[in-house]
Amino acid sequence: MKQIFIINGPNLNRLGTREPEIYGRITLAEIETLCRRAAGERPMRFHQSNFEGEIVEWVHEAIDHGAGIVINPAGFSFTSIAILDALKMFSGPIIELHISNIHRREAIYHRSLVSTVATAVIAGLGPNGYATAVNALRDLIRE
């Protein structure tokens, strides 16, 4: 059974203490646990990096081995042509996930490049959005 990839961008390793009024106090490790519970029997890779190229390489691994991607590109959502180009090569479903509702925040967060290739976008459900995204991805893969 092909894996699902959960890929997280910069500063998400600081969840728990990072702007808790926006992101809550849950840690990335706790979010990983939420994802694994939602993934059930579906094998899952969970990654986080502050480096663009590392994220590109995980997308390349998903291209070769993955059934679907949940990606929170974080700040790279709005800037990274490299991650966008990598995602364009992925043939499976892609769910873009933001903990916060980026459309209710500063204008710099309103235009995600990743949204132009994502199958779906989830933003504003808080950390629980990850479990929602994994469940939705499992349904999309089943199709």
- Which residues of the shown chain bind ligand DHK in the complex (CB under 6 A)? 11, 72, 74-75, 98-100, 102, 109
Minimum gap (Å) between residue 92 Cβ and ligand DHK: 22
Nearer of residues 6 and 74 to ligand DHK, judged by Cβ: 74
Nearer of residues 50 and 63 to ligand DHK, judged by Cβ: 50
Which one from 98, 103, 110, 130 is the annotated catalytic residue? 98
Nearer of residues 16 and 63 to ligand DHK, judged by Cβ: 16
Query: Hey, how many other C-beta atoms are within 10 angstroms of the C-beta on 133?
Result: 26
Rounded to an integer, what distance in angstroms lies between the CA atom of residue 80 and that of residue 128? 25
Query: Hey, how many other C-beta atoms are within 10 angstroms of the C-beta on 90?
Result: 19
Which one from 23, 47, 60, 109 is the annotated catalytic residue? 23
Minimum gap (Å) between residue 142 Cβ and ligand DHK: 26
To the query of whether residue 109 is one of the catalytic residues in this protein, the response is no
Give residues with Cβ within 8 angstroms of 135, minimum separation 6. 38
Cα distances from 25 to residues 39, 59, 138, in angstroms, run 22, 28, 27
Minimum gap (Å) between residue 72 Cβ and ligand DHK: 5
To the query of whether residue 23 is one of the catalytic residues in this protein, the response is yes
Tokens of 30: 């706790």
Query: Hey, how many other C-beta atoms are within 10 angstroms of the C-beta on 20?
Result: 11
Nearer of residues 3 and 100 to ligand DHK, judged by Cβ: 100
Return the active site residues: 23, 98
